[in-house]
Amino acid sequence: MSAPLPRPKPISIRELARMYVENAKKVLEKAQELAESSRVSTVNLYKLCSAVRIAGEIIELGEEGVIKELLKLSNEFGGCVACAWSRPFSVDEDPSLAVSLAARKCVLGEAQDRCRNFKRLEL
């Protein structure tokens, strides 16, 4: 029998900002790969173009700028957007969600409307 997976740890807003900057770089790499191939549908191309625009904005903001934006969104929306258990989507899941500063998923698998583990993001 295998050992249980370790429980994920809550993260700081700085760590979250780093994740978004890394996702932005990955989105740009993926866009380059797809531009060089012919395996992309029109729908996926549209989503990728949107993601590339946002990724460029994230890279231009840099980590400190992303932190400021995350703080604004955290105060404005609360919920998963303000929670230390939330993470960005991966680029492979959806490039446009991977760089959306307001779209997150819970590493504990909680639904936002039934969450019992909320922990506010900290610097």
Whole-number pLDDT of residue 98: 94
Cα dihedral: 71, 16, 49, 57 (round 10): 50
Phi, psi for residue 9 in degrees, rounded to 5: -105, 150
Q: Is the pLDDT of residue 43 over 80?
A: no
pTM as predicted: 0.88
Domain boundaries, the chain: 13-112
* First-residue to last-residue Cα distance in the chain: 39
Q: Is the pLDDT of residue 44 over 80?
A: no
Task: Please write the tens of the pLDDT for every residue from 50-106.
Answer: 899 999 999 999 999 999 999 999 999 989 999 999 999 999 888 889 999 999 999
Whole-number pLDDT of residue 112: 85
Task: Compute CA distances 57 → 35, 60, 78, whole Å.
Answer: 20, 5, 23
